[in-house]
Amino acid sequence: MLNLFLDVLKRDLVLAWRRKSDVFASLCFFILVVMLFPLGVGPEPALLKAIAPGIVWVAALLASTLALGRLFAPDYIDGTLEQLLLTPEPLTVIVMAKIKAHWLVSGLPILLLSPLMGLQFGLSGDAIAVLFFSLLIGTPVLSLIGAIGAALTLGLRGAGVLVSLLILPLTIPVLIFGAGAVSAQTSGLGAAAHLELLGGLLAAAIALAPWATAAALRISVE
């Protein structure tokens, strides 16, 4: 199973590298959304610091959702997904590998850029560190939840809109705790409770999302 996991992960990363324009599109979307907000709300330092966590997290959520169309659809179109479903190994292993590749392609670049985005809003060093760790814990949850929506809408017309309608309500707790961790750190309350709740959401998503995604894939393909 480990060899299958690594093979699927390597394959998806190679395919993503060949479609670099799609990867950069999501990343550029994240950067533009974050950079345009200060132009719209004004240069007030206190206001920018207050809204920075929410802006970065909403941009990360939308950028992650934008990349969900590449999670299963290309394999479904060319028939690769049907062959993967016929393998004797558990489908959840394949699903986990594809989710991991999705996070490495869409979530990791956002994570690495988040300190620069925090500096743009004038956040302190401690707040930027909390922002980084909240995204480190939270963005995998977005990929895990998004995989369920991508599997349920596989092959449907207008799947991009449908997957957003399905998963955005489910990601609200991640958004609240992620942005709330930075706000709590900025106000001096400490971010430990919010990060622990994010960790609990990540543990629950890892335990449940792969099986739900595998079941949804079988339903969509059949």
Closest CA to 49 of 131, 146, 162: 131
Q: Is 19 helix (H, G, I), strand (E, B) or coil?
A: coil
- Asked whether 72 and 81 are in contact (CB, 8 A), the reply is yes
pLDDT at residue 165 in the model: 82
| Torsion sign over Cα 176, 181, 186, 190 | positive
What integer pLDDT is reported at residue 19 of this predicted model?
A: 79
Query: Cα 58–30–115 angle (5° rounding)?
Result: 85
pLDDT at 137 over 90: yes
Instruction: Identify whether the C-beta of residue 58 lies closer than 8 Å to the C-beta of residue 175.
Output: yes
How confident is the model over 46-91, as pLDDT tens digits?
Answer: 888 888 888 999 999 988 888 887 788 888 887 778 888 888 888 8
Domain with 87, as residue range(s), is: 2-221
pLDDT of 6 > 90? The answer is: no
By mean pLDDT, which of 109-118, 144-153, 160-169, 194-203 is the weakest? 160-169
What contacts 24+ positions apart, CB below 8 Å, involve 11-14?
12/97, 12/98, 12/101, 12/102, 12/105, 13/101, 13/104, 13/105
Q: Is 188 left (phi over 0), alpha (psi -120 to 50) or beta?
A: left
pLDDT of residue 159: 67
Q: Which of 99-103, 119-123, 136-140 has the least mean pLDDT?
A: 119-123
Residues 147, 213 contacting (CB under 8 angstroms): yes
Question: Quick check: 174 pLDDT over 90?
Answer: yes
The pTM score is 0.89
Give the total number of structural domains in the chain: 1
Rg (CA), the chain: 18
Residue 118 to residue 48: CA distance in whole angstroms: 10
The rounded distance, in Å, linking the Cα atoms of 198 and 186 is 18
